[in-house]
Each structure stands twice: as structure tokens, then as C-alpha cells.
């Protein structure tokens, strides 16, 4: 430090602090990336290599046997099909149910509106973790347990979607609606041709949440399905653990990779949009 | 009001208003009916069921408050579940808020690396808890990587999920790891809404950074922090997936939580009355929290 001016010394201090901060930030990145890295490389390790202690940080030999088990033995595509049918139907039906309801709550005054709104809000505090026990027997009475309907029907009406959409519709000025009415557009048309395009980003957000929520759905299908044929991808992956004696982490991690992959792709394509939507959701 | 003076369009108006009188109901009813059938009715039915003894097959038998007596007096399981849920909730709330706050303040400057760290931290929030839990159970295996790292530093290995003293801690670690980025992100966006003039004024006064943090940042973030506190509490009370995937309530009863208790009693023990009574207790907790939550939303809307 001898022979340095005060300014130089301060600069050195600052750059070393900066470097330290960089190292910390990289460490955080590693902390959050590592479990995913571990998932992927374990899925390519042969079974015997997964048993080594200490574990290898890079597979000594690569194998695709985990993916073979997941696709051939577990036939994961069958379960993915179930998940996609459920998710797709829910998203379409959610459009038809939640968007009109949100529009009515946002733009019209009518008798009973207050009570209906109270019902919507009340459903916020009643999770499926409570209602499943009586719903299951209701579906048994209806005779639809042997279909995908128990996974679809209860999640169509979404208080969260209605809440978010109503908020957004309210922000659209009434003049826009009036102008469309003067053009003799029907209410239905106004909703889909004027309101929905103007609330596009909220609509996309709700679709995004639906997709991620249903792709990852675990509890609801667990309590609603007894029939193996009707189970979604999550329960299939969960079953890998009990498929063989002892834990075969090669297979299990291959299954997890398949489970996480679509979300990774979605995130890579639209991370900015997703982060905005999530931050918005958390703020409201 | 003005239209009343004009005579001619009046007829057209009334005709139209009749149809507009009905359309709101046509628009709202599908959602309301679905809510009534799939949420409100099952809940009322659950409350009713809590006064009955039922195994899903035979006739229901009215037993009064016996199920509640079973929960609180005859058996310790429920009290343990309640206690575990509280321990889980308090730890998750505390560590999530703490880390979210630290990371939000640390990463608030707009820069490429900060954006990257934020994104990486946030991503686990989108992933299936099943996948995350499974990876962590592999890392926390007695012969897994975490213990390999500990033994590298000559530290004794932990039994993580297999030991009743560390199992709950391990589950909390996973939940905090998964949710940290999401909550940091929410705090970051409210940090950005703090007017820069306030900080500039503080800079003029030469306020030290620690003081700035406690005197400016924390008070201005406090509505958001309280909001998050309620949100995390609500979701922690419903914790299930990680428990079911990782420990199934064990070892012993060290990680039984409320929802897992309800699930066990309904799915495996076929004691629906007891499960329903436990559900009513959980419902009361959730109701109190939700009311606070909406009070807050309304107040915030008014201030804006």
C-alpha cells in the first residue's frame, strides 16, 4: 500500500469489493443451478455409479437406460397425454367461464352481485386439500370416477382468474364499451372482440398459471384417481420410486428431467413475461 | 337521466334493458354454480361430516362432538400435526422473508448479472415440488452429495430426512430454497416503486446505509412484507406435497402436518369424520388469515 495515493487505494478497495460481490453472485447462481445439474447428470449415470460415495460430479460412463425405463417400461407418454387433456380442457373451459364472469363483475350493476362476489371471495379460503373428501364421493355418486372429469371440473371456475381479470377489465374505460355499443355490437362480441384483446396480457397470465399449475398438479389427482389409466405425469414419476426394489436414481432423475423440461422451455421462451406476471400476482 | 326527456328511444331502451338485465346473470352463473357445487357445497358437507362417524361405505352415524374429542383429547397425533405445522410455518415464513429481503436489496441495481441471478433464483418456483423434493432427497441421502461435502471438510454427516431431529429442518430448507427467488422478486418490484427522491434526500443527509435500510427501506416495504407474511402463512398451512414425497410424516411422527393428517385419515384410515373435523380446524385458521388478507387488499386499494 506504500506509495499509493488515497484515491488509488480507494480504487483498489472498490475493485476488490466488486470482485468479491461477483464471486458471491456466482455462488448464488451455482446454488440455484446445482440441483438441476445434479438431476440431469444423475439421469445419465449407470445405476452402479449412482451408488458410489463420494458421488461423481460428471458421469464416468453415459447411459440412456433411465430414459428407456421412463418411456418404455413406465410408458410416460400415456400419462403425459392425460395431463395434456386435462390441462387443455381446463384452459378452454376457464376461458368460457371466468372471462364472462369477470366482465360482468367489472362492468355491470345488478341485483345479487354483492352476494355472488362474496361467494367468489369465500372460495379463496377453501382449498382442495379440504374439499377433496366429500367431492370424491360426490363424483362416485355421479358415476364419473372412471374418467378425467374429476380432475377437470373442480378447477374450471377460478377465483384467482376472475379476480385478476376483473381488475384489468375495470381499468378499461367505459367509453370504449359505449362506443362499441353504439356500433350495435352485441355484449358477447364486445367482450371477445374489444375487452379480451385489451386485457391480453392478463389473459395470457391466467393461461400460463393454469398450464403450470396443472402440469405440476399433484395433490388433486392423487386423491381423485384410483385408476392407473387416468393418472397424470406427476403421479407416474412419483411411482418410479416404488417401481423397483431400492431407489434407482438413474430412472427417477430421468423422470424428473421429463417433468421439469417443459417448464424450462417455457421459461427460456418467456422468462421476462412470466417474471412480470408473477411479480404482479404477488403484489396484488 | 337525459334520455328520459327524449320520448322516442325510450321504448327501444326498455326492450334492451330487459335483455341486459338478464345477461349479467348468464355471464356470472356458470362460475357461481361451479363454485357452489365444487367448493361451497363440499365444504358445508365436510362441516356436517365432522359430526358423523363414517368410513366411506356404511351408513353415516351421528356422534356429536366425538370426532373433536378424538382430535384434542383422545389422541396426540393431531396435536403433533398442529405443532409441526406451526413449526414449519414459522420457520418458512421467517427464513423466506429474511432471505427474500437480503437478496432483493442486494440485487436491486439494474445490471446484467443481477437480472441473471434473479432469473435463476426464481426458476425453482415454477417447477414441480415433486421433482425438487426428489432431487433434494437424493442430495440429502446419507451417502449423497451434501454428506460428501461435509466429510470433505471433516465434518460428521447428517441423516437429514431420516432423523426425526433434522427431518423438518430439511423440509424447511427445500421450501425456502424453492420460494426464495419468487419472494425476492416481489420485493424487488416494490423496491423499484420507492421514489428515488427519498434516497437522494437521505444521501444528502449522509445517512449511513444500515440506517437507510432500517429507517427508509423497511418501513416503506412493510405493507408488502406483511402481505407476503400472510400469503406464505396461508400456503405453509397447506403444505403437503413435499411431506408426502419425502417423509410420509416420519420418521416417527416428526413431520406429520395438518393436511397430511387429513389425507391419512381420509385415504388410509377411512375415518372420514375425524378427517373432516381436522379439516374444520384448518378451515378456521385459513378463514382468519384470509379475512386479514382481504382487509389489507381493500385498504391498499383505498390508499392508491
The per-residue pLDDT for A175 is 82
Displacement of CA A99 from its chain's centroid (Å): 20
Nearest CA in chain B to A100: B27
From chain B, pick out residues whose CB is under 8 angstroms from the CB of A250.
Answer: none
Question: Has residue A2 got a pLDDT over 80?
Answer: no
Displacement of CA A109 from its chain's centroid (Å): 34
Q: Which of B130, B151, B276 lies at the smallest CB-CB distance from A133?
A: B276
The whole-angstrom separation of Cα A94 and Cα A97 is 5
In angstroms, how far is the first alpha carbon of chain A from the final one?
A: 53
Beta-carbon contacts below 8 Å between A and B: 230
Q: Which of A97, A125, A137 lies at the smallest CB-CB distance from B290?
A: A125
B128 touches chain A (CB under 8 A): yes
Q: Phi/psi zone of residue B44: left (φ > 0), alpha (ψ -120 to 50 degrees), beta?
A: alpha
Please say whether the beta carbons of A147 and A182 come within 8 A. no
Highest mean pLDDT among A5-9, A47-51, A213-217: A213-217
Q: Before A54, cis peptide (omega within 30)?
A: yes
**DSSP assignment of A56-74, as one string?**
PSS-SS---HHHHIIIIIS
Largest CA distance in chain B: 94
| Mean pLDDT rounded to a whole number for chain A | 86
B49 touches chain A (CB under 8 A): yes
Displacement of CA B272 from its chain's centroid (Å): 25
The per-residue pLDDT for B11 is 43
Residue percentage of chain B with pLDDT more than 90: 34
The per-residue pLDDT for B4 is 45
Nearest CA in chain A to B265: A133
Answer with the residue of higher pLDDT: A240 or A215: A215
Bridge partners of B53, per DSSP, are: B61
Backbone angles phi, psi at B56, to 5 degrees: 90, -15
Question: Has residue A211 got a pLDDT over 60?
Answer: yes
The whole-angstrom separation of Cα B71 and Cα B80 is 10
Question: Has residue A4 got a pLDDT over 90?
Answer: no
Instruction: Judge: A129–B240 Cβ closer than 8 Å, yes or no.
Output: yes
Question: Has residue B177 got a pLDDT over 60?
Answer: yes
Grid cell of A26 as nine digits? 456466482
The per-residue pLDDT for A155 is 92
Question: Has residue A247 got a pLDDT over 90?
Answer: no
**DSSP assignment of B21-85, as one string?**
HHHHHHHHHHHHHHHIIIIIHHHHHHHHHTTEE--SSS--EE-TTHHHHIIIII-SHHHHHHHHH
B55 touches chain A (CB under 8 A): no
CA distance A118 to chain B (A): 10
Please say whether the beta carbons of A128 and A170 come within 8 A. no
Q: Judged by CB atoms within 8 Å, which residues 88-147 of A form the interface with B? A: 96-98, 100-101, 103-105, 108, 110, 112-113, 116, 119-127, 129-135, 137-138
How many CB atoms neighbour CB B10 within 10 A? 12
Tens of pLDDT along A72-116? 888 889 999 999 999 999 999 999 999 999 999 988 888 888 899
Helical (H) or strand (E) element with A92: helix A76-107
Tens of pLDDT along B199-239? 777 777 777 778 877 887 888 888 888 888 888 998 999 99
The per-residue pLDDT for B16 is 56
Q: Please, which pLDDT band fits residue B299 given cuts at 50, 70 and 90?
A: low
CA distance A22 to chain B (A): 8
The whole-angstrom separation of Cα B214 and Cα B220 is 10
A252 touches chain B (CB under 8 A): yes
B287 touches chain A (CB under 8 A): yes
* Lowest mean pLDDT across A230-234, A275-279, B259-263, B270-274: A275-279
Instruction: Output the CA–CA distances (angstroms, integers) from residue B167 to A23, B120, B231, B256, in the order listed.
Output: 31, 26, 24, 11
Tens of pLDDT along B88-146? 999 999 999 999 999 998 888 888 888 888 889 999 999 999 999 999 988 888 888 88
Question: Has residue A195 got a pLDDT over 60?
Answer: yes
Provide the whole-model pTM.
0.87
| Mean pLDDT rounded to a whole number for chain B | 84
The per-residue pLDDT for B199 is 76
The whole-angstrom separation of Cα B28 and Cα B14 is 22
Q: Please, which pLDDT band fits residue B5 given cuts at 50, 70 and 90?
A: very low
The whole-angstrom separation of Cα A139 and Cα A133 is 11
Instruction: Judge: A104–B259 Cβ closer than 8 Å, yes or no.
Output: no
Please say whether the beta carbons of A135 and A154 come within 8 A. yes
Tens of pLDDT along A118-177? 898 888 888 888 899 899 999 998 999 889 999 999 999 988 889 888 988 888 888 888
Cell 373428501 belongs to residue = A133
Please give the CATH superfamily to which domain B75-300 belongs: MetI-like (1.10.3720.10)
* Lowest mean pLDDT across A232-246, A257-271, B227-241: A232-246
Instruction: Output the CA–CA distances (angstroms, integers) from residue A230 to A67, A148, A211, A260, B223, in the order listed.
Output: 22, 6, 18, 21, 44
B120 touches chain A (CB under 8 A): yes
Q: Judged by CB atoms within 8 Å, which residues 56-85 of A form the interface with B? A: none
B21 touches chain A (CB under 8 A): yes
Question: Has residue B1 got a pLDDT over 80?
Answer: no
The per-residue pLDDT for B298 is 67
Q: What is the average per-residue pLDDT within B274-299?
A: 85
Tens of pLDDT along B252-268? 888 999 999 999 988 88
Cell 374429542 belongs to residue = B69
Tens of pLDDT along B61-92? 888 888 888 888 888 889 999 999 999 999 99
Amino acid at each position: 500500500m506504500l506509495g499509493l495515493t488515497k484515491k488509488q487505494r480507494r480504487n483498489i478497495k472498490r475493485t476488490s469489493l466488486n470482485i468479491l460481490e461477483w464471486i458471491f453472485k456466482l455462488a448464488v447462481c451455482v446454488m440455484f443451478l446445482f440441483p438441476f445439474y445434479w438431476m440431469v447428470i444423475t439421469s445419465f449415470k449407470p445405476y452402479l455409479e449412482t451408488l458410489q460415495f463420494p458421488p461423481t460430479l460428471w458421469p464416468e460412463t453415459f447411459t440412456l437406460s433411465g430414459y428407456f425405463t421412463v418411456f418404455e417400461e413406465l410408458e410416460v407418454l400415456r400419462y403425459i397425454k392425460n395431463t395434456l387433456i386435462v390441462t387443455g380442457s381446463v384452459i378452454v373451459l376457464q376461458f368460457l367461464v371466468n372471462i364472462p364472469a369477470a366482465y360482468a363483475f367489472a362492468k355491470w350493476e345488478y341485483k345479487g352481485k354483492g352476494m355472488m362476489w362474496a361467494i367468489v371471495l369465500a372460495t379463496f379460503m377453501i382449498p382442495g386439500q379440504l374439499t377433496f373428501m366429500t367431492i370424491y364421493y360426490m363424483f362416485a355418486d355421479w358415476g364419473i370416477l372412471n374418467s378425467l372429469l374429476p380432475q377437470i371440473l373442480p378447477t374450471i371456475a377460478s377465483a384467482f382468474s376472475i379476480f385478476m381479470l376483473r381488475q384489468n377489465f375495470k381499468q378499461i374505460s367505459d367509453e370504449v364499451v359505449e362506443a362499441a355499443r353504439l356500433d350495435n355490437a352485441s355484449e358477447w362480441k364486445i367482450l371477445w372482440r374489444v375487452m379480451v384483446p385489451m386485457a391480453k396480457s392478463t389473459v395470457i397470465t391466467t393461461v400460463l398459471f393454469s398450464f403450470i399449475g396443472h402440469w405440476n398438479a399433484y395433490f388433486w389427482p392423487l386423491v381423485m384417481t384410483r385408476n392407473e389409466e387416468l393418472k397424470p405425469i406427476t403421479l407416474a414419476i412419483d411411482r418410479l420410486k416404488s417401481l423397483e426394489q431400492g431407489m434407482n436414481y438413474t430412472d427417477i432423475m430421468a423422470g424428473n428431467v421429463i417433468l421439469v423440461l417443459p417448464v424450462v422451455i417455457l421459461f427460456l421462451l418467456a422468462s421476462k413475461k412470466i417474471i412480470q406476471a408473477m411479480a404482479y400476482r404477488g403484489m396484488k | 337521466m337525459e334520455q328520459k326527456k327524449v320520448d322516442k328511444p325510450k321504448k327501444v331502451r326498455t326492450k334492451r334493458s330487459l335483455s341486459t338485465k338478464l345477461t349479467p346473470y348468464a355471464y356470472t352463473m356458470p362460475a357461481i354454480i361451479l363454485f357452489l357445487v365444487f367448493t361451497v357445497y363440499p365444504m358445508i358437507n365436510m362441516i356436517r361430516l365432522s359430526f358423523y362417524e363414517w368410513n366411506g361405505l356404511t351408513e353415516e352415524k351421528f356422534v356429536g362432538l366425538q370426532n373433536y374429542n378424538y382430535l384434542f383429547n383422545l389422541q396426540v397425533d393431531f396435536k403433533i400435526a398442529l405443532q409441526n405445522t406451526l413449526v414449519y410455518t414459522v420457520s418458512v415464513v421467517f427464513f423466506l422473508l429474511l432471505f427474500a429481503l437480503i437478496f432483493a436489496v442486494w440485487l436491486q441495481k439494474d445490471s446484467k448479472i443481477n437480472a441473471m441471478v434473479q432469473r435463476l433464483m426464481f426458476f425453482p418456483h415454477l417447477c414441480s415440488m415433486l421433482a425438487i423434493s426428489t432431487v433434494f432427497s437424493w442430495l440429502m441421502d446419507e451417502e449423497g452429495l451434501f454428506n460428501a461435502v461435509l466429510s470433505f471438510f471433516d465434518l460428521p454427516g447428517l441423516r437429514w430426512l431420516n432423523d426425526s431431529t433434522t427431518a423438518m429442518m430439511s423440509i424447511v430448507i427445500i421450501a425456502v430454497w424453492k420460494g426464495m427467488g419468487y419472494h425476492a422478486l416481489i420485493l424487488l418490484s416494490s423496491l423499484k416503486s420507492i421514489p428515488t427522491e427519498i434516497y437522494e434526500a437521505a444521501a444528502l443527509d449522509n445517512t449511513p446505509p444500515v440506517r437507510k435500510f432500517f429507517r427508509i427501506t423497511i418501513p416503506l416495504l412493510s405493507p408488502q412484507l406483511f402481505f407476503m407474511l400472510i400469503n406464505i402463512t396461508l400456503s405453509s398451512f397447506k403444505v403437503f406435497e413435499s411431506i408426502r414425497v419425502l417423509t410420509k410424516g416420519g420418521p416417527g411422527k416428526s413431520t406429520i402436518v395438518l393436511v397430511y393428517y387429513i389425507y391419512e385419515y381420509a385415504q388410509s384410515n377411512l375415518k372420514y369424520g375425524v378427517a373432516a373435523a381436522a379439516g374444520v380446524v384448518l378451515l378456521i385458521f385459513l378463514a382468519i388469515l384470509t379475512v386479514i388478507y382481504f382487509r389489507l387488499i381493500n385498504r391498499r386499494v383505498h390508499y392508491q
